[in-house]
Amino acid sequence: MLVAVTVLTGVGAGLGGMSLALLLHAIQHLAFGYSEAHVISAESFLQGVSAAAPARRFAVLVLCGLVAGLGWWTLYRFGRPLVSIKKAVKSDDPRMPIVTTVVHAVLQIVTVALGSPLGREVAPREIGSVWAGWLAHRAGLTVAERRIMVACGAGAGLAAVYNVPLGGAVFVLEVLLGTFGWAALVPAVATSAIGAAVAWIGLGNEHQYQVSPLVLTTPLAVWSAVCGPLFGLAAFGFAQLMTRARAQAPKDWRLPVFSLINFAIIGLLVIYFPQLPGNGKGPASLAFDSNVTIGLAAILLVLKVLITAGSLRAGAEGGLLTPGLANGALLAIVLGGVWNLFWPGTATGAFAIVGAAAFLSASMQMPLTATVLILEFTRVSHDFLIPILLAVAGSVSTFKLLASGNLAYLFRTARGEPVTKAQPAALVESAGDH
């Protein structure tokens, strides 16, 4: 029975992820008026937004604010309480409310399609988990087996929507279950592989980012070791800001009001910066292609962080995977551009790939998953594992020190100041939830 549930979980999560991705593209094309005859086309979301009239960009973002505000207010007012994937995995009854979860997932996809700066990866994970939980319960599996299948459903959904079979499996094992034991590893790998393959039916076997060939250089390797801690510092600040913003989000009558104001402001910014709407894939693509200047990267980085925090504070929902990846890539363009002034020879796209991995690893506390995702997203040479791992090690270590309060303690001790060791700070919400 477990084998049958594993296969069906992969198939269901694959179909769910594929359907959500097709819905996302259809709404994007319709809202911004590009490639309307083809849901999957060669024209990117960034190209479509850039070609749209400024007034249309603003109107679409205002519509996004209305949908987000009224949608989530209605869900909180009349729906059953949401159960996160992480809580379901730890529960004695690892099921999630079907209707509420599906509506929650669809709202995320619709708002991201309309320009919300949050990530779309939580929605397919939720659909995969709610399906796996229902299926495992109906099949009469043990509580332990049902927990594993709920986690595997999330990984398969992630694998399907991004075409990352290995990344989906590692996400299950590292983030949701915290074990690489055989009982978890086999179904995690199987469901993610099946989910990704099923999604090819509608999405094709496409890579998320088309990256030109890049060369590993000595300056890049040294830069990765030197700047890794800086990405950890930036990721810590980003994670703390997002956690506070999400915690302060309203769920009452203020939600529609805050949401409309927030997305209207984003709409005004999008008139001048068409790279801003969406989960961050556009800026990340520009960074990976070495097609963004230091100045523009710095501006986009600041604005992306602000509008992401603002959207969470206003009550919108979504993930932080692609936003974190984009932030890391943009920060790397700035740091790498300065580095090239003193030690030239490295394409800025190479800095961006390493920076994206380092920032994402720390901000979502999933170094293995982030590394695998970057490799699957970009299909970059395995030689890049050297600078990626150097940067990830420095980034995650710095984040951990900051989160525990140990880094400030060490600095003050080194200066000879009498201090009391700080209490551990609250860590960012798990990637399993967001």
The CATH number linked to 63 is: 1.10.3080.10
Q: How many domains does the chain have?
A: 2
Last residue of a domain, one of 146, 180, 203: 203
Same domain, 232 and 175: no
Residue 403 is assigned to a structural domain of this protein = yes
Give the phi and the psi of residue 119 in degrees, each rounded to 5.
-80, 160
Is the pLDDT score of 422 beyond 50?
no
d(CA 330, CA 287): 6
Q: pTM value?
A: 0.92
Same domain, 183 and 225: no
Please give the mean pLDDT across all residues of the chain.
93
What does the pLDDT read at residue 424? 41
For residue range 171-197, what is the model confidence (pLDDT) as tens digits? 999 999 999 999 999 999 999 999 999
Same domain, 178 and 283: no
What does the pLDDT read at residue 232? 97
Same domain, 299 and 375: yes
Cβ–Cβ under 8 Å, residues 159 and 167: yes
Residue 209 is assigned to a structural domain of this protein = no
Cβ–Cβ under 8 Å, residues 111 and 316: yes
Residue 252 is assigned to a structural domain of this protein = yes
Using 50, 70 and 90 to split pLDDT, how confident is the model at 425? very low
Residue 28 is assigned to a structural domain of this protein = yes
Same domain, 19 and 125: yes
Last residue of a domain, one of 203, 228, 249: 203
Same domain, 139 and 231: no
Residue 176 is assigned to a structural domain of this protein = yes
Let me know how many helices (H) and strands (E) the chain has, helices first. Answer: 18, 0
Cβ–Cβ under 8 Å, residues 238 and 305: yes
What does the pLDDT read at residue 206? 86
Last residue of a domain, one of 203, 233, 250: 203
Using 50, 70 and 90 to split pLDDT, how confident is the model at 392? very high
Is the pLDDT score of 133 beyond 50?
yes
Q: Which residue has the higher pLDDT, 39 or 105?
A: 105
Same domain, 312 and 237: yes
What does the pLDDT read at residue 184? 96
Same domain, 158 and 238: no
For residue range 267-291, what is the model confidence (pLDDT) as tens digits? 999 999 999 999 999 999 999 999 9
Mean pLDDT within 209-229: 94
What value, to the nearest 5°, has the Cα angle with vertex 96 and ends 94 and 102? 150
Same domain, 326 and 408: yes
Most distant CA pair in the chain: distance in Å?
68
Domain that holds residue 137: 2-203
Using 50, 70 and 90 to split pLDDT, how confident is the model at 431? low
Same domain, 319 and 279: yes
Residue 431 is assigned to a structural domain of this protein = no
Residue 425 is assigned to a structural domain of this protein = no
Q: How far apart are the first and last CA of the chain?
A: 31
Is the pLDDT score of 87 beyond 60?
yes
Using 50, 70 and 90 to split pLDDT, how confident is the model at 408? low
Same domain, 192 and 227: no
Residue 170 is assigned to a structural domain of this protein = yes
Same domain, 338 and 252: yes
Cβ–Cβ under 8 Å, residues 380 and 238: no
